[in-house]
Chains A and B, each alone.
Chain A
Amino acid sequence: MNKKISELIASKYFSFFVTVILFAALYGAGVGMYKGFLKPQVFLNLFIDNAALIVVTVGITFTLLIGGIDLSVGAVLALTCMVLAWLLANTGIPVFAAVLLVLLMGTAFGALQGYLIAKFDLQPFIITLAGMLFCRGLTAVISRETINITNPLFVAMADFRLPIGSGFVSMGVIIAIVALIAAAVVLGFTRFGRNIYALGGSESSASLMGLPVFRTKVSVYTISGFCSALGGIAYSLMMLTGYNLHGMGMEMDAIASTVIGGTLLTGGVGFIPGALFGVLIQGVILTFISFQGTLSAWWTKIVVGALLCVFIIMQAFITEHKSKLTAKSSLEKNS
């Protein structure tokens, strides 16, 4: 029995199980306390409100998996919203061309960051921090005021509702679900996905095995840039504005979601469904606060910070437990 528990703790999915149970418990508590939680729309709203965060989290999961980090996601999201709003307001180019253009911009920015990190062996933390400052500043250079999106086609896209059962979801949710599935397939079933896990496990081993380290690194940051831009489009669909302070602090929310979902910050371990549950847990906490009515918004920051802390410390213990377990099993084999 004891052995089973210790194997369970060492399992790759332990963090994920904890997250799912925590989510279920939080939601169950919500149902117990407020009748409104039972409505299917409340559940679907978790996705609608957090569509952009889900997409961004998918991107940041890739960078965390190789043991890197991308702090620029929130700023790239804001820049995307701003450029899109500016393009639609000031030029006559069609909506789809504008969307394509901003996606391309985010992707190119991610690729540039990846190139700097991989080519010159710089710390991803500092380069993406600079990227964050750069994009935030650039957003303010384009406009310091809010730009509204009034393009009829884009507004129609934002108003689009896909009925599910008695509820509905928005366009942003569809984007988020597609991104989730695509990322899960890439990580789980392709050679590129295996390379990412290998690189996160140990960069020098991956390099000695002849895996394309440079290419993988650049691609990972490119994917993160693309996801941030895609998240920016989901965000624009929800807000219909471009504004300098959009997505402020979103990089922290995204990292927290990924960590809560069981991705190890040292790299090599983690998977996409966990990241989704990480976002949903934060969404439930927000829903709690809005249902409760008297709690203020800053409680979210504190609760998310505390959760992040608990999960990170749990990770530290799991890693230690695992290394003890492997040491023990290798001893048993030898004797």
Chain B
Amino acid sequence: MEKMKSFTSSSLFLPVVALVVLLVFNGIFVDGFFDIQLTEDGRLFGRIIDILTRSSSLVILSLGMTFVIATSGIDISVGAVVAISAAVVCTLVGGRGDGVAETPMVLAMLASVGIGILCGLWNGLLVAKFKIQAVVATLILMTAGRGIAQLLTEGQIVTVYYPPFASIAGVIPGMPLPTNMFIAIAMVIFVSVVMKKTSIGLFIQSVGINPTAAKYVGINVTLVLFLVYAFSGFCAGVTGLIESSLIRAADANNAGLNMEMDAILAVALGGTLLSGGKFYLGGSVIGAVTIQTLTTTLYALGVSADQLPVVKALAVIAICLIQSRKARDLFDKWKGRHDGEAVADSAKAVNRA
């Protein structure tokens, strides 16, 4: 019983339960949902693998977003930065029909990740140096970012015919799984090792809880903020690589569209409070997979991409209400009044909330 209680109150409870519910739903209604097959050339495929592969972009973005939210900030420019990074890599590799790269691909990739970091540093400059609220500071890049991406691609959709470019989000021959999954796993491992071996996680938390106090105990708040936004930009840059490689093109209008919403949702679902402070990387990763599972499930049910936000919006509000201390207080008060007679009702209300 004690163990049960500690599990239900743990931060992983919500995303894990949501994920399990979705998986069970899929397992019942979709034939062969859990089947994983091995092709002759040694590749794994199946619906589960597919969901995991597709969630790798979101996992990477939500890693960056977790730290930003932990400092009680927010980065709504990630979607636009994804578009910029995609535009950079595609224009550098070039859209030549004969499949020759104009710039070596490694250089192009480095440049696009570098642009991502630059965008993050710009956000960090506005937030840390000019002390502008994070929403507004990142709003600037969100508005202007897509314009910059269109400027880079000259309003065209740049299609890349250079064959190795597709392998960033595709399968390198001989590998069992697509490359983007490895990228995501590598980044998760890297971040967890950094968190384990250094105290930067603690610094980020203290900045999120109380920046003034953090400053007085000797933490370089400006540097922490810069780092956090730069890392978010870096994650968006990597995601831009993956997203452009998926479609082998840079689409300035649609690359990374609404991805900032999904990343925020994943972080919130993972148990990190949107008001900052304590953060849960594992929660964010599971949250991202859950969101992707939800998306895939809804697509399977015949919901179109532009109708999808209705469900996600309800999910956002539900998570906010669960996180809200005031909602919990009101609920406790209400429960105290109706105790006993309304236990069943309150269980229903929790489900609804």
Contact = CB atoms under 8 A, between A and B. Distances in A.
Interface in A8-31: none
Which 6 A-B pairs rank lowest in CB-CB distance, beginning with the nearest?
A: A305-B144, A301-B147, A137-B310, A134-B313, A137-B309, A133-B309
B310 A304 contact: no
22 contacts: A69-B135, A116-B317, A119-B330, A123-B275, A126-B316, A126-B320, A127-B320, A129-B264, A129-B316, A131-B313, A133-B316, A134-B309, A134-B314, A138-B310, A255-B136, A259-B136, A298-B150, A302-B148, A302-B151, A305-B140, A305-B144, A313-B132
Given A140-B307, A296-B150, 7 more contacts: A121-B325, A132-B313, A252-B143, A259-B136, A265-B132, A298-B150, A302-B144
A298 B148 CA distance: 8
B320 A312 contact: no
Interface string B290-311: 0000000000000010111111
Nearest to A308: B140
B30 interface: no
Nearest to A315: B132
B22 interface: no
Contacts of B145: 305
Interface residues of A, number: 44
A309 interface: yes
Contacts of B140: 305, 308-309, 312
A306 interface: yes
A249 B143 contact: yes
A249 B309 CA distance: 16
A100 B274 CA distance: 37
Interface in A277-335: 296, 298-302, 304-306, 308-309, 312-313, 316
A3 B268 CA distance: 49
A133 B76 CA distance: 14
A266 interface: yes
B93 interface: no
B54 interface: no
A125 interface: yes
B147 A137 contact: no
A133 B306 contact: no
Contact of A140 (B132, B264, B274, B304): B304
Contacts of B43: none
Contact of B316 (A130, A244, A255, A256): A130
* Most B C-beta atoms less than 10 A away, residue of A119, A137, A302: A137
B139 interface: yes
Contacts of B131: 316
A181 interface: no
Contacts of A296: 150, 155
B130 A316 contact: yes
Contacts of A298: 146-147, 150-151, 155
Contacts of A246: none
A304 B144 CA distance: 7
Contacts of A144: 304, 306-307
A16 B76 CA distance: 28
Contact of B142 (A252, A259, A316): A252
Contact of B143 (A119, A129, A244, A308): A308
Nearest to B310: A137
B74 interface: yes
Contacts of A305: 140-141, 143-145, 147
Contact of B326 (A120, A302, A316): A120
Contacts of A316: 130-132
B74 A125 contact: yes
B261 A133 contact: yes
A127 B330 CA distance: 19
Contacts of A302: 144, 147-148, 151
A252 B140 CA distance: 9
Q: Which of A125, A249, A255, A259 has the most CB of B within 10 A?
A: A125
A67 B314 CA distance: 24
A182 interface: no
Given A141-B310, A144-B306, A305-B147, A123 B139 contact: no
Interface string B136-168: 110111111111101100010000000000000
Nearest to B151: A298
A136 interface: yes
A239 interface: no
Interface in A226-268: 244, 249, 252, 255-256, 259, 265-266
Nearest to A140: B306
A306 B148 CA distance: 11
A89 interface: no
B133 interface: yes
Contacts of B330: 119-120
A265 B133 contact: yes
A12 to B, nearest CB: 20
B321 interface: yes
B306 A301 contact: no
A33 B140 CA distance: 29
A137 B144 contact: no
A299 B324 contact: no
A301 B261 contact: no
A138 B304 CA distance: 12
Contact of B324 (A120, A131, A255, A266): A120
Contact of A244 (B147, B274, B306, B312): B306
A226 to B, nearest CB: 20
B327 interface: yes
Nearest to A248: B253
A312 B140 CA distance: 10
A133 B314 CA distance: 9
Given A121-B324, A136-B306, A141-B307, A126 B264 contact: yes
Nearest to B321: A120
Nearest to A136: B309
B58 to A, nearest CB: 16
A42 interface: no
A304 B309 CA distance: 27
